[in-house]
Structure 1
């Protein structure tokens, strides 16, 4: 990811190119997309496109990185670290579910999964730009809440991973494999509420521990 960031040159039409690329990749996938398609969708010349991105993989990684970073930053900006765990966790659950069930989240997940054997850096980029950022930011909050006596978390990274897995229970697999082509907001809310309840039952300040 660091290498991709160094190679990207920004300029006046950078966002225009990125938006065109985003549309093409989501519509056609990584393999079938071409730089010609991106230039047409972005309404720029091929020379302009190549002045920003030397190849398709670099362009795709920047699309994924920028979108995942935007999602993570938006969520982080809305979280008040002074709020109680139930409020923060419920908000986090809703954002995690919303992202993973969104067209962008699902399509990029499928693209990265299908291309990860040939281009492992794509999968790493998606993981580092999305799940890792959410994990780290949630882990930071868990440390603060534990220090305040509101939670009892001894491994913030593991606890954050567990919470993310709870948020994907049922819904994500069914959507990712096209078992369900859509999802009900009521069902998503039910999963979010249950994720918070289970997490608090394990890590809440008053939770009973085995042994």
Structure 2
């Protein structure tokens, strides 16, 4: 599968590494392609991984991962407007600040409104990026909670999440994103007492 990753930091870089190892084609959108961080990432992943602009990454990807700091999200959305129709957008961002006064929705719902036609799926956002390369906690796999309105898009994101090593939990439609975003804030709060080597898990019987 062709995956465009908007951002090559701790989240985008780590997920890109794993998906590339699973045989997916990866295109990173980076603002500074000659930075030491990007060069190190490309040296690690080899020549099969490409870099370029936001628009090039979106055009390349069958699936697009949004993995930039929240303060950069508005500018990124503005640059890719009109390019996301019928594409899957995985929102892994975390808005840790109060929502702007002109919206009452969650961050994921705000992103969906900014990108009409995109199939927005909230995922991979409820634990620290340091855990993404090792999602095993004892005998259990960390859960990731996903939501979105398109069943086929959710099935694809579920597959991608399972390839990462997640126990993928379908939380429902995109209007449940506020609950998932609250779990992110809960993880941050708990990590202050227990450290970052922690994850949330849905237990079943």
TM over 0.5: no
Bigger Cα Rg: 1
TM-score normalised by the chain length of structure 1:
0.27
TM-score normalised by the chain length of structure 2:
0.27
Report which of the two has the higher share of helix: 1
